[in-house]
Amino acid sequence: QVQLVESGGGSVQAGGSLRLSCAASGYTYSTYYMAWFRQAPGKEREFVSWINDSGSTFYADSVRGRFTISRDNTWNPLYLQMNNLKFEDTAMYYCAADFPRRGGRSYLRWESYNYWGQGTQVTVSS
pLDDT at 75 over 80: no
Rounded Cα distance, 7 and 23, in Å: 8
State residue 107's pLDDT score.
Answer: 95
Rounded Cα distance, 14 and 52, in Å: 30
Determine which of 37-46, 73-82, 115-124 has the lowest per-residue pLDDT on average.
Answer: 73-82
- Displacement of CA 68 from its chain's centroid (Å): 10
Rounded Cα distance, 20 and 61, in Å: 19
pLDDT at 113 over 80: yes
Higher-scoring residue by pLDDT: 43, 99: 43
The model's pLDDT over 36-55, given as tens digits with 9 standing for 90+, comes to: 999 999 999 999 999 999 99
33 strand-pairing partners: 52, 98
CA angle 96–24–98, rounded 5-degree value: 40
